[in-house]
Chains A and B, each alone.
Chain A
């Protein structure tokens, strides 16, 4: 959980625009603290924290508290993410208003914009009741635009950008841009800006 949260914080810390202090002992600590506070005050970093806490509590079978996390998340940020969501480190919810349901698996550095989400398809016939819960499987560095929705047990590759207000119902190849209702690939081999940390790159 804490590795995930650290990665999430690094993603948000880039957006905070806190001025770097230098030249005295403890400067880096102060920088980190200011970044953390800025991420909490100015961005929905707290909603990501609550989500991670909820997953951790669910894993340890703590009663009631996960629901409380859900409720705070919904009241404050209108973020609803199901317990079954398995989202990798570096999750960035840019402004709240997210809805994620079903057995979702996402890789690193997923960016979610407002009114976007993932849902289930209403299947008529299934061989097993759990088959109805199939959600998208998403790769790394995926950017989901505002109002875009992903439905059903689809596969989305790495470095994909999904346009605003699109409805994705089929598989998406890696390094592509998709948009429209239903979503079509509008650009292949797109060079997405790298979201890898500077520290990792070194």
Chain B
């Protein structure tokens, strides 16, 4: 929300593990979709439950594998990227190409996604199952390896396809099973096949402008 990050992938390899930390926080943030937060339990048991949900039910390990893949490629370590890639594909069905830059706080909710092309994804994006982000071979676009450029805090719904060199703004949302072939401006929602941008609804009373629930009602920290 403070503008696009300078380098969504993180400029230095030393920042890679901060990314993983940010990813974990993003999963912590999103984990209300898997487990309710019982306020009456003790702090430790709630933390353990969250951890179990993120590591064994969530897809945080797959994001870690992807970060490992990128880190090893930057360092020029042989074989490790291939292993990470194959494991990611085999265990979680997550296929992420070599030219993809993904910012910190990336959240894949249930796996089975494909991201390819020269693609940039900003900070705190969350992606749902069966999503394809990649290249378009339509005559309108021509032969190009440029994939979508996606801003910060973007939510991509189940089964959506984002194809070709389109630009998706910050805080945008893409509906389930939408096929996005044109740009989506900031703070807007796109739905349908092919996707059309639906007019922004006026802010309701009590909305704080946040797309996700405020961190305070998660009961973390």
Contact = CB atoms under 8 A, between A and B. Distances in A.
A149 B158 CA distance: 8
Contacts of A75: 90-91
A147 to B, nearest CB: 6
Interface in B68-118: 90-93, 110-112
A96 to B, nearest CB: 11
A99 B175 contact: no
A181 B178 contact: yes
Interface in B178-216: 178, 191-193, 206-207, 211-213
A201 interface: no
A166 interface: yes
Contacts of A71: 56
Contact of A167 (B33, B112, B176): B176
Contact of A181 (B91, B112, B128, B176): B176
Contact of B177 (A120, A133, A149): A149
Interface in A147-202: 147, 149, 151, 165-167, 181-182
A124 to B, nearest CB: 7
B37 A129 contact: yes
B110 to A, nearest CB: 5
A149 B57 contact: no
A74 B176 CA distance: 22
Contacts of B206: 125
A180 to B, nearest CB: 9
Contacts of B129: 99, 117
A6 B38 CA distance: 36
Contacts of B159: 115, 147, 149, 165
A60 interface: no
A122 interface: yes
Given A70-B57, A115-B159, A147-B159, A129 B36 contact: yes
Interface in A54-79: 67, 70-71, 74-75, 78
Q: Give the contact-size bracket for chain A.
A: 20 to 34
A99 B57 contact: no
Given A181-B191, A181-B192, A133 B36 contact: yes
B21 to A, nearest CB: 24
Contact of A165 (B36, B110, B177, B217): B177
Given A122-B212, A124-B207, A130-B36, 20 more contacts: A67-B56, A71-B56, A78-B112, A97-B130, A99-B110, A99-B112, A99-B158, A115-B159, A119-B176, A120-B33, A129-B36, A129-B37, A132-B32, A147-B130, A147-B159, A149-B159, A151-B176, A165-B177, A165-B193, A181-B175
Interface of B: 32-34, 36-37, 56-57, 90-93, 110-112, 128-130, 155, 158-159, 175-178, 191-193, 206-207, 211-213, 217
14 contacts: A75-B91, A99-B112, A101-B34, A117-B129, A119-B128, A130-B36, A147-B130, A147-B159, A147-B177, A149-B159, A165-B159, A181-B175, A181-B178, A182-B191
